[in-house]
Amino acid sequence: MLADAVDAALTDAGIDEAAIDEVHHANFAGALTDTQNHQAPLVADLIGGAVPTIRHENACASGGFAMWSAVRAIHSGAADVVLVTGIEHLSPLSTSEVTTAFAMAADELYEIRNGLTFPGAYALMARSYISEYAPEDYRSALSAIAVKNHEHASVNPLAHFQSTVDLQTATEAPMIADPLNLYDSCPISDGAAAVVLAAPHVDTTADRVRVRGVGAASDHLALQTRASIHATAATATAADRAFEDAALSRDDVDILEVHDCFTIAEVLALEALGFYAPGEALEAALREETTSSGWLPTNLSGGLKAKGHPVGATGVSQIAELTKLLRGDHPMAESLEGPQVGLAHNAGGTVATAVVHLLEVLDDD
């Protein structure tokens, strides 16, 4: 999988593998899925290189943080061309084993040891949100997000689920962790992704987009320790930093890929990122504001919910999808009116880590 992703990225970039100065790799659970830590040299092997290579792990945000480190590699002057990769290979595990593995993204002492699972953690966040804002029809609103993201994924040849779902099916799906049901939850996916970053002066035939700004932040690992269970402060801080770094405002953003491991996570992300006031993003989904024809097209790739969530690959894949959307060579691009700026939001665990990238179309002149 990763070899295919790397080949596709290098071909797209029009850059020879010999030009790569560094490899930044993301993976979450290789020790559990493949008895393989120390994966980074295997990726360097793929490009035949002896270049510096490093694995980054921040749970579900591993890919976004690999990207964050790669951007810095170029900013520091240490590298001109960097390969960013991410992979997760969850199929060797049973569903029960995956649940155990995913829980390791939460706090072992206060959460895992006491039996909290990842769907359970996001259900707590959803309950906290619902309790504070008392949305009238949260069930339909959550399901509307699932319907939208499946709709987007249905035309994405790289999506895990290339199928639509109707609102009634999504609403009546079996409960996983109340209020989150089967269609509120992302699937367990295998997947790999690769992105090539190059300094502005590097010659390439590719249709490039620019990394305009980056921001990252952290929060207490355990939900119980946070000021708010649902406000996801790390996302808010990461976004503020990215917009400051980019010298852009929220109004400049045309499309978003946000971390929707559960439908409620998309709601929390859009609020913490500053696109909706607290308590307002959930019902906005019922008004179709975040579909490809809405004012804030979100997760046009299908998102984690329907494109899939191969943990270490997810954040890297967001950058790849956003790049294609901005360039206009993505299946969903024709429904957009020449987007100029895209935002990628990748969150680790219950948003104990978060990283935001702002990409923009690079004009030829």
363: Cα separation from own chain's centroid: 26
Residue 32 sits in the site that holds a second copy (CB under 8 A): yes
Which residues from 268-307 bind a second copy, rule CB under 8 A? none
Please spell the DSSP secondary structure of 168-189, one letter per residue. Answer: HHHHTSPEEETTEEGGGB----
Residue of 106, 153, 300, 306 interacting with a second copy (CB under 8 A): 106
Residue 224 sits in the site that holds a second copy (CB under 8 A): no
Residue of 220, 248, 278, 362 interacting with a second copy (CB under 8 A): 220
The least CB distance from residue 217 to a second copy, in Å, is: 5
Amino acid code (one letter) for 292: S
Residue of 103, 142, 194, 286 interacting with a second copy (CB under 8 A): 103
Query: CA-CA distance, 27 to 193, in Å (whole number)?
Result: 11
Amino acid code (one letter) for 34: D
Q: Which stretch binds a second copy (CB under 8 A): 52-60, 82-90, 150-158, 323-331?
A: 52-60
Q: Residue 155's CB: how many other CB atoms inside 10 A?
A: 17
The least CB distance from residue 294 to a second copy, in Å, is: 31
Residue of 59, 197, 255, 341 interacting with a second copy (CB under 8 A): 59
- Give which of 145, 1, 22 is closest to 78, Cα–Cα: 22
Please answer whether residues 80 and 192 qualify as being in contact, where contact means their C-beta atoms are separated by less than 8 angstroms: no
Query: CA-CA distance, 54 to 120, in Å (whole number)?
Result: 32
Cα–Cα distances (Å) from 256 to 68, 79, 186, 204, 359, in that order, read 17, 28, 18, 26, 10
Residue of 142, 159, 234, 341 interacting with a second copy (CB under 8 A): 234
Beta carbon nearer to a second copy, 103 or 198: 103
Residue 87 sits in the site that holds a second copy (CB under 8 A): no
Residue of 18, 78, 175, 247 interacting with a second copy (CB under 8 A): 78
Q: Which stretch binds a second copy (CB under 8 A): 39-47, 174-182, 246-254, 257-265?
A: 39-47
Residue 243 sits in the site that holds a second copy (CB under 8 A): no
Q: Which two tokens stand for residue 49?
A: 């290189």
Residue of 2, 6, 12, 58 interacting with a second copy (CB under 8 A): 58
Print burial letters for 219-256: b (CB count within 10 Å at least 16), e (below 16). bebbbeebeebbbbbbbbbbbebbbebbebeeeebbbb
Write out the catalytic residue numbers.
Answer: 60, 309
Name the residues that contact a second copy, by CB under 8 A. 23, 28-32, 34-38, 40-42, 44-45, 49-59, 65, 68-69, 72-73, 75-78, 100-101, 103-108, 112-113, 216-221, 225, 233-234, 237-238, 348-349, 352-353, 355
